[in-house]
A and B are shown apart, each in its own frame.
Chain A
Amino acid sequence: MNTTGADGPFRFMECSILPVSTGLRAQTLRELRSAIPEIPESSLYYHFWGRMLRPHIAESEFNNDFASWADGGLGDIELAEVLSAINPVKCKDFAELRSILEDILESRIDQGDFLSWKKADREFYFIACRKFMFATGKVASSLEDFPAAVKTATRQSFFHHFLDGRRRSPEGKDDFTLWLEQFGETTAEVRRLLGRVDSYLFSLGELKGQIVSILEKGLRKGGKK
């Protein structure tokens, strides 16, 4: 869903995400597996997307909370790697994401009894969330204004348009790309570069820096390279 005003100026939105305890927790792989069907969709959202807005550092090796726990809590790096390879943007909905997660955990449990019962150093707390989105009143009217506007947008606004935007779009496109499409060939290269950015390997601040750099270079002089 593009809420930015696809044919007019880019309207900056942002979101607030509030974590809510589910009361569910897991200390073993089996416990983690059996809780997955129970958790609400917002918990999947929180553990895959919400982490970008929480205290975290760019050096985090894994890109979702399940993978981080498999590594840091269980000491199962192999599982952490497999979990980390999940790209939630490629799932058509939360049901598909849940099912992929279940399959991976099930498969790991099948590989050995010790792994499935091993107690983690720290429990996994399933956290759900409440989220609301709102218009900030900020707009960017032209391609020339756009990079500076993105540069000064808040973390929450950048998250909403770039990361969460990819989730909302059926084609996995971020809001910036969708808006730039109206300018046709002029922005084709910028859109190609935006599409190639791996959103899971950086902190939000680093990611923003990278996107702004692409926009600044690509949209200089009215959008001509």
Chain B
Amino acid sequence: MMSDMLKQYGEIIGFHATDSLLVIAEKLRGKKIVHVNSTKEGGGVAEILSSMVPLSRELGLDVSWEVIEGDEPFFSCTKTLHNSLQGMAGGLSDGQIASYTETNRRNAERLKDCLEEADYVFIHDPQPAALLGMIPGRKGKWIWRCHIDVSAPNRSVWRFVKRQVEGYDASIFSLSDFAQPLPHPQFLITPSIDPLSEKNIPLSKTEIEKTYRELGVPRDKPIILQVSRFDRFKDPLGVIESYRIAKEYVDIRLVLAGGGATDDPESGQVLSAVQEAAAGDPDIAVLVLPPDAHRAINALQSGADVIVQKSTREGFGLTVSEGMWKRKPVIGGDVGGIRLQVINRFNGFRVRSPEGAAIRIRYLLTHRWKRERMGVNARQYVLENFLITGQLRNYLSLLVTLDGGEGEWERWI
């Protein structure tokens, strides 16, 4: 009998689609699956796992989620890793490498039993990637899931990461542009959003109004919103510039809402720069929200007129799908996974400069019918392509495929 949770997903994606998930999951019944990442909350990976793990369990699968424990030097190292893999110059110091290795070793000791007996292990991003080499008694298949844009990485740092991940049985990248030469199959699977999570469920108008009020943002002017970590690659300063250019033509408010994550020590510096740039302008609201402010973010997105995600580098950009799910066209940077989600003039616009974002903001605010039409397209596009049920289906299919070996690419099971 279908559980309540599956019924709720079935009402959104169709009951035959949830039945298919059950059929695929049946082929993995009795197998132990473990996910490992570096933070329980904050950021897209933690959000995806928060939904994927319970949903997997509803399908009858034995799934657990482990989080590696690290200290400040470790997260400073992994932030450098993250930035360098997205192309920033520089490299890892010997001290950082030592901290990375030692932290992974300590976590390997702690998680040894669980990881040794697992049939499948998903290691998310570079932070816990070294665990593979530290669990020599592993019996299962290990998959490295890279969530970041590594299309043009700093080569010396990539060589370091490559040494950690080349022993995996497979890896997963969000886009073909990100795949790197590795001696195992590299699957291409996009991330997704959960329509049942607090961040994406439908909210009442009253709650939306109340949230805006509580956050001190009047709704007397059209709202332009960017939700993202205070991270340089999300280009919050570029968004402020776009707002200033657009404001010469349309009277608007800008809301920049985000927070940090426990594994991102750099966010404080970026936030300070944003606050400085916004200082003195009563129509800019910089909101620092706690990592669990999912409902508030939902309300902000639901109440916004135009959603912006003007990233200059982006692994995928879950906030784009989140905005689109709320029937909002999104103005996104023409990079990474945003390219996959935003189709020009169909469900939003892709831009390459603050000027480009400004002109699209003006366009959407002055073409209401167009904005609404694009919003409808946006919702449908997410429904068909970027929901958690689809991503989980792909993950489970991958595991089934790995069990099939290297033979024929096409087979009946």
A contact set with B: CB distance below 8 Å: 3, 14, 16, 18-21, 23, 40-42, 45, 54-55, 57, 59, 123, 125, 127-138, 152-157, 205
Contact = CB atoms under 8 A, between A and B. Distances in A.
Given A18-B189, A21-B188, A153-B16, A132 B179 contact: no
B367 interface: no
A136 B412 CA distance: 12
B16 A41 contact: no
B24 A21 contact: no
Contacts of A154: 14, 16-17, 20
Contacts of B16: 136, 138, 152-154, 157
Contact of A18 (B19, B27, B397): B397
Given A14-B20, A18-B189, A137-B23, A130 B385 contact: no
B187 A55 contact: no
B179 A57 contact: no
A132 B404 contact: yes
B398 interface: yes
B314 to A, nearest CB: 16
Contacts of A155: 17, 384
A57 B346 contact: yes
A18 B14 contact: no
Contacts of B19: 136-138
Contacts of B14: 152, 154
Contacts, number: 107
Contact of A133 (B186, B187, B411): B411
Given A133-B411, A152-B14, A20 B404 contact: no
Q: Nearest 3 CB-CB pairs, A to B?
A: A21-B179, A125-B176, A16-B397
Contacts of B187: 18-21
Interface in B1-41: 14-17, 19-20, 23-24, 27
Contacts of A138: 16, 19
Given A57-B343, A136-B23, A137-B23, A21 B397 contact: no
Nearest to B16: A154
Contact of A136 (B20, B186, B404): B20
Nearest to B178: A21
Given A21-B179, A55-B384, A132 B397 contact: yes
Among B14, B340, B409, B413, the one with the most A-chain Cβ atoms within 10 Å of its Cβ is: B409
B311 to A, nearest CB: 17
Contacts of B385: 54-55
Contacts of B325: none
B294 to A, nearest CB: 25
B158 interface: no
A23 B180 CA distance: 7
A155 B173 CA distance: 24
B51 interface: no
B17 A23 contact: no
A54 B186 CA distance: 17
A130 B189 CA distance: 12
Contacts of A18: 187-189, 394, 397-398, 401
B185 interface: yes
B410 A20 contact: no
A71 B44 CA distance: 34
A45 B408 CA distance: 13
